[in-house]
């Protein structure tokens, strides 16, 4: 326990709490503005899990049904399991407000882990800036306050990353293994995250043997991983009743961004060149590993990125899915590498490590922050516009009664 308190020793906790508090107040206020002063979630997927939790609790924790109101890529077992206990304590009327508070706490924990990881990954100079960009990223905020299973997935994912970087590097596997296994129970897409983590642990464990025939083993692993992921994601995401009627096949004119639900390099979710810096950061880091025949966290990130790109692609096979509710944990890695790429670029241009004097980095950081704020506002308003369409559904209405 003492170890975890040591983690936050150098973290600017007050600043993070202030920023996260501001985000919390904004999200709650906006939702209440759109729902006639009721604290609610603006998507039906969250209520799928909440209802599942209620039914599970009401059955004395014996039966959890998945016959209706179930989205394979978004809903799972673990999250309703956890909130069923909360429901038993606070009741129907208070479960949603409580989940908002829990989301705030989860966000705080995740941001601390992000800060610590960023400090190790990119250096202390930019860890605070990276963290601010992370906690103001639109998909991160929207997913954390969505009330869906992704909240728990995100928390476990952040913990998993921490263990992968700090423990697995030192050949301590317990924390990483536990969080990896738990990810299998959040949803089918989070199972992929767990799988990648286990794959990485395995590669790390057999690191010395792999080095003897590095290129071949990594290539074969990658190809197999790609195939397994693709097949699995097709099963999860494709609306298989009539494949010809999926949005992808109904597209009249194909462009590059037709193949990605959120645009090429996530261009719909972030400022224009952030995806480019992510690519640059990842390229530099991974290139170094491959050149030195190493298995490091960067290889894990590469596998994760490929998996998420496949998720983006197969999401185009579905007309009803919302990628923010299952891909968002990936943006932990995305922002990490993007900030690294940005810093790397600004160092080359300005040759100044000190962020306060590196005006390129600071300037671009401010622009991305400004862009993030606008994106968050727009998406939050868009999401909250859903409330009036779902408010009359029976399984949602019962939680909205005053």
Q: Does 377 bind another protein (CB under 8 A)?
A: yes
Q: Does 391 bind another protein (CB under 8 A)?
A: yes
Alpha-carbon gap, residue 43 to 325, rounded angstroms: 10
In angstroms, what is the minimal distance from the CB of 257 to another protein? 10
x/- map, 58-97, another protein, by CB under 8 A:
----------------------------------------
Residues 316 and 260 sit within 8 Å (Cβ to Cβ) = yes
19: tokens are 């920023």
365: tokens are 């950081």
135: tokens are 């906690």
# residues contacting another protein (CB under 8 A): 33
Q: Does 253 bind another protein (CB under 8 A)?
A: no
Query: Which helix (H) or strand (E) covers residue 213, if one does?
Result: none
Specify the residue, 55 or 268, whose C-beta has the smaller distance to another protein.
268
In angstroms, what is the minimal distance from the CB of 358 to another protein? 9
Q: Does 22 bind another protein (CB under 8 A)?
A: no
Report the SS3 class of residue 115.
Answer: helix
Question: Among 182, 126, 196, which residue's Cα sits nearest to residue 154?
Answer: 182
Secondary structure letter of residue 20 according to DSSP: H
Q: Does 378 bind another protein (CB under 8 A)?
A: yes
x/- map, 330-349, another protein, by CB under 8 A:
------------------xx
Q: Of the listed pieces 27-35, 175-183, 231-239, 323-331, which binds another protein according to CB under 8 A?
A: 27-35
Q: Does 256 bind another protein (CB under 8 A)?
A: no
HEC readout, 342-362: HHHHHHHHHCCCCCCCCHHHH
Within 123-205, where are the H helices?
Answer: 124-135, 138-144, 150-166, 174-183, 188-205
> Which parts of this chain interact with another protein (CB under 8 A)?
30, 33-34, 36, 267, 272-273, 348-351, 356, 359-360, 362-364, 366-367, 370-371, 374-375, 377-378, 381-382, 384-385, 387-388, 391-392
């Amino acid at each position: 326990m003492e170890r975890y308190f040591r983690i936050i020793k150098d973290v600017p906790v007050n600043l993070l709490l202030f920023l996260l508090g501001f985000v919390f107040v904004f999200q709650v206020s906006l939702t209440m503005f759109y729902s006639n002063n009721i604290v609610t979630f603006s998507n039906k997927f969250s209520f799928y899990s909440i209802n599942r939790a209620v039914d599970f609790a009401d059955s004395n924790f014996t039966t959890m049904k998945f016959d209706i109101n179930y989205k394979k890529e978004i809903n799972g077992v673990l999250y309703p399991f956890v909130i069923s206990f909360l429901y038993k304590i606070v009741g129907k009327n208070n479960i949603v407000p409580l989940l908002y508070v829990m989301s705030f706490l989860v966000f705080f924990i995740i941001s601390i882990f992000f800060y610590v990881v960023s400090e190790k990954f990119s250096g202390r100079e930019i860890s605070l800036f990276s963290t601010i960009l992370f906690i103001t990223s639109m998909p991160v905020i929207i997913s954390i306050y969505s009330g869906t299973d992704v909240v728990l997935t995100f928390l476990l994912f952040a913990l998993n990353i921490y263990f992968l970087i700090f423990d697995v590097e030192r050949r301590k596997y317990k924390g990483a293994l536990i969080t990896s296994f738990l990810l299998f129970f959040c949803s089918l897409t989070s199972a992929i995250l767990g799988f990648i983590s286990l794959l990485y642990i395995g590669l790390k464990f057999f690191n010395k043997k792999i080095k003897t025939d590095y290129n071949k083993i990594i290539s074969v692993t990658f190809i197999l991983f790609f195939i397994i992921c693709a097949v699995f994601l097709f099963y999860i995401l494709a609306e298989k009743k009539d494949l010809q009627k999926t949005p992808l096949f109904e597209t009249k004119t194909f462009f590059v961004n037709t193949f990605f639900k959120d645009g090429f390099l996530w261009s719909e979710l972030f400022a224009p060149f952030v995806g480019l810096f992510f690519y640059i950061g990842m390229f530099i880091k991974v290139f170094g590993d491959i050149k030195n025949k190493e298995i490091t966290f960067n290889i894990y990130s590469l596998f994760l990125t490929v998996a998420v790109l496949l998720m983006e692609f197969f999401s185009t096979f579905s007309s009803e899915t919302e990628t923010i509710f299952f891909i968002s944990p990936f943006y932990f890695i995305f922002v990490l590498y993007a900030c690294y790429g940005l810093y790397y670029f600004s160092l080359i241009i300005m040759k100044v490590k000190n962020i306060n004097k590196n005006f390129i980095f600071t300037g671009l950081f401010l622009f991305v922050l400004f862009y993030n704020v606008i994106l968050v506002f727009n998406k939050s308003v868009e999401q909250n516009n859903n409330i009036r369409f779902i408010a009359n559904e029976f399984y949602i209405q019962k939680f909205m009664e005053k």
